[in-house]
Structure 1
Amino acid sequence: MSGGVDSSVAAHLLLEQGHDVVGVFMRHGEKSPAACDLEPASAKTLLPIIGQGGAGRLDHKQGCCTASDAEDARRVADRLAIPFYAIDLQAEFGRIIDYFADEYARGRTPNPCVQCNNWIKFGKLFDYADAVGAQYVATGHYARLRAGEDGAELLRGVDAGKDQSYVLFGIDRGLLPRMLLPVGGFEKPAIRRMAAAVGLNVATKKDSQEICFVTSGRYDALVKHRRPEGAEAGELVSTSGEVLGRHAGVAGFTVGQRKGLGVALGERQFVVRIEPQSNRVVLGSRDELMRSELTAARCNWLVDTPIGEPLKGLAQIRYNAPPAGAVVTRLEGDRLQAVFDQPQFGVAPGQAVVCYGGDRVLGGGWIE
């Protein structure tokens, strides 16, 4: 339970389905007494709260794990009369922040939400579920599960504008039978109406839009603080090698970026490539950003896919990118190749490519 409307309604739907529900809030930001002291006199909290004590800033930005979010989640648990447990995963979440900083310092574009799902939401929370004898882990993600001939299948959510199946591709296939995604069969307006109908205080709460651990709103400042090598000044160059200007560090750029380049060239330019070894950021035209194919490493498959056998389907190269027709081939060494029907804009190393067969998630990997 993140304190948002989706996970809150997920808990309500699970109760309606007859499940014995325990609400869990993951604390992994800066310590805050408002986030730690979550047990009011009226709360029906049957499990202890870890991570009590510790003072810190209370002015967290809007995110998914702030002090105010913790309070919202606790109020929802009270309203639904379910036990509520705030689990402190700050130490474990340091791995996510290190990954984020490392990737930007290497000139790559990370996706911390995917890794959070892989390592924490459907990693550490399963450890907790096992510890308390829970059968399932449920979240408010907009995706669906169904039983298939070869086991549980992960599908896109019904609401195409909110679909989150992309960020779930890396989950261990063996965990799918123990996952529940109650809101995936609904569109967002229906979820908000449901929350209002049962009197949940989060019915009109805005969706989180920011990276939860970047409290300042400046991700490049976080990267530069943790990985100073990403803050070394270098050259902005054209694809032909002409020096166009200087930059303050590769951590401030991502492939496909158009704004905030620090130079005015009279025509639209994009970040085409980042070269951390030479500390250069390469700029070019939109056409120079187009790619007809890609390879990806550290792949995870949710279906049985023979090595070397081409598979016609769809490939999605960013969370907010439309899926594109492609022929995908699983390669040796946990890698894949995707050859697109039409060239794609802004294929960024470090992002995930997720492969679909219709609405079903087949698998994916990390773009090289």
Structure 2
Amino acid sequence: MSRVVLAMSGGVDSSVAAHLLLEQGHEVIGVFMRHGEESPVACTVDGKMLLPLVSERPDHKQGCCSASDAEDARRVADNLDIPFFALNLQQEFGRIIDYFVEEYTIGRTPNPCVMCNNWLKFGKLFDYADSVGADFVATGHYARLTPQPSGPPALRRGVDDGKDQAYVLFGVGRELLDRMLLPVGDYQKSHIRELAGHIGLRVAEKKDSQEICFVSSGRHEEFVRAKRPDVDTSGAIVTTDGRVVGQHDGIERYTIGQRKGLGVAMGEPYFVVTIDPEERRVVIGKKEDLARSSLLAGQTNWLIDPPTEPFACEAKIRYNSPPQPATATILPDGRLAVEFEERLFGVAPGQAVVCFEGDRVLGGGWIESSS
């Protein structure tokens, strides 16, 4: 029997993942990751001390990491009769928050969910799994792992195109694929909800979280300003030909491709085309001004042997964007150059570009620039 540490968020996906793992004969330990206050309480499994539990104050609301979500996860664990622990990862979450704030203040669009997967769910959680003698780490992501004739498994898209989350897992270390389990990736979301109802889980109809877990208000600019009250990022709103058409109170309000909430009325649709953090300018233009045919990405991660020659692929530039035919080249300095067959709109520095071959994730990197 394999021991599995399962990241439980209190949602339906990870809850049903626990059920599926039990059905497969695994020993499951449910873990909820919180970034709240420390508690002196600790727990043991097989005589080994686990990380400290966190505060379960009912008023401690933090999006998908709130006390109510922890209670939902705990009830599911009780229902399924599996051990459940809440880990205090306040320091580790602090790293993600710092990254999030810094990216917005330098005019980039961060993706904290990918970083959470890289640093926590498939980072610190593996350290935790090792501490309790677990063989695998599992999550409720809609993605799949399939065996290969040699080497680690292939990471593939989930069968539910509308819920597929393979994009956000591109940064996981290739060496960890052998120890990952993704139980819900072979199912449609509707089936997962049906399963939850069939086995009597209260979270069967719980809505999916749409918020960044540490920005429960949904207003990221307010969060950034609260964290950096002494940083002034206000400046001018200009058109692509340099005409000043307004003023803004902070570049953190904007992202490439944004149309609503620009703060100026142009009489026709205008979009954020570029953000200049040094001059604190937000440049707006018409949709055609957003068109890009290539990009450059750094901090790459590959789940295959990195190709030494240019290769054809399909590339995604955002989680909710469709993959586009492209040619990718790994440069001598390790960065990734991607040339698209057709021009794309809204290529945002700070987001990830992920290369696919069919439904398989090849790898990707973090967008630095586009042209």
TM over 0.5, shorter chain: yes
* 1:254 alignment counterpart: 255
Separation in structure 1 between the aligned mates of residue 229 and residue 250 of structure 2, nearest angstrom: 9
SS in 2 for 1:151: coil
TM norm structure 2: 0.92
Matches within 5 A, 1:61-210: 63-149=63-149, 150-210=151-211
Stretches of structure 2 lacking an aligned partner (at least 5 in a row) = 1-7
- Change beyond 3 A, Cα 1:154–1:168: same
Shift of 1:280: 0.5
User: In the aligned structure 1, how far is the partner of 2:242 from the partner of 2:87?
Assistant: 51
Is the contact between residue 32 and residue 54 of structure 1 (CA under 8 Å) also seen in structure 2?
A: no
**1:197-346 to 2 correspondence within 5 Å?**
197-228=198-229, 231-307=232-308, 309-346=309-346
Structure 2 CA distance for partners of 1:207 and 1:342, relative to 1, 3 Å: same
Letter in 2 for 1:204: E
2-structure distance, mates of 1:48, 1:148: 34
The runs of 5 or more residues in structure 1 that have no matched partner are 40-45
Matched, 1:22 2:29: yes
Q: Is the 8 A contact 1:317 1:351 kept in 2?
A: yes
Structure 1 residue 328: deviation in Å? 0.8
Residue identity matched to 2:253 = G
Q: Closer, same or farther in 2 for the Cα pair 1:265/1:163, shift >3 Å?
A: same
1:310 to partner: Cα distance: 1.0
Give, in whole Å, the separation in 2 of the partners of 1:195 and 1:283. 46
Per-residue deviation, residues 167-186 of structure 1 (Å, max 9, x unmatched) = 00000000000000000000
1:217 partner amino acid: G
Query: Following TM superposition, by how much is the alpha carbon of 1:334 offset from its aligned partner in structure 2, in angstroms?
Result: 2.4
Q: What's the % identity of the aligned pairs? A: 61
CA contact (8 A) 1:32 1:58 kept: no
Is the 8 Å Cα contact of residues 14 and 139 (structure 2) preserved in structure 1?
Answer: yes
TM-score, structure 1 normalization: 0.93
Which residue in 2 is equivalent to 1:367? 367
Does residue 1:60 correspond to 2:67, yes or no? Answer: no
> Cα–Cα, structure 1 residues 342 and 52, in superposed 2: closer, same or farther, change >3 Å?
closer
Moved more, 1-10 or 213-222: 213-222
* Correspondence for 2:15 among 8, 23, 45: 8
8 Å contact kept, 2:298–2:335 = yes
Q: CA deviation at 1:103?
A: 0.3
Q: Note the alpha carbon deviations across 1:38-66, whole angstroms, 9 max, x for none.
A: 99xxxxxx9867234586x71626x3211
Number of aligned residue pairs:
356
Q: CA RMSD in A?
A: 2.0
8 Å CA contact 1:230, 1:250 repeated in 2: no
Q: Deviations over 1:294-336 (max 9, x none)?
A: 01000000011233x1111100000000100001111122211
Pairwise CA distance, 1:343: 0.2
Within 1, Cα distance between the matches of 2:167 and 2:55? 36
Structure-1 residue corresponding to 2:347: 347
Q: Please tell me whether the aligned partners of residues 104 and 230 of structure 1 are also in contact (alpha carbons under 8 angstroms).
A: no
SS at match of 1:272: strand
Measured in 2, the distance between the counterparts of 1:334 and 1:230 equals 33
CA distance in 1, matches of 2:16, 2:155: 20
Residue type of the alignment partner of 1:85: F
Residues 95, 52 of structure 1: alpha-carbon distance in 2 compared, 3 angstrom cutoff: closer
SS of the residue corresponding to residue 64 of structure 1 reads helix
Kindly provide the amino acid, as one letter, of the partner of residue 271 in structure 2: F
Cα deviation digits, residues 250-305 of structure 1 (max 9, x gap): 11110100000000011110000000000100000100001001010000000112
Task: Read off the aligned partner of 1:295 and give its amino acid letter.
Answer: L
Q: How far apart, CA to CA, are the structure 2 residues paired with 1:168 and 1:54?
A: 29
Q: CA deviation at 1:229?
A: 6.1
Q: What amino acid does structure 2 have at the position aligned with 1:5?
A: V
In 2, Cα distance between equivalents of 1:161 and 1:47: 40
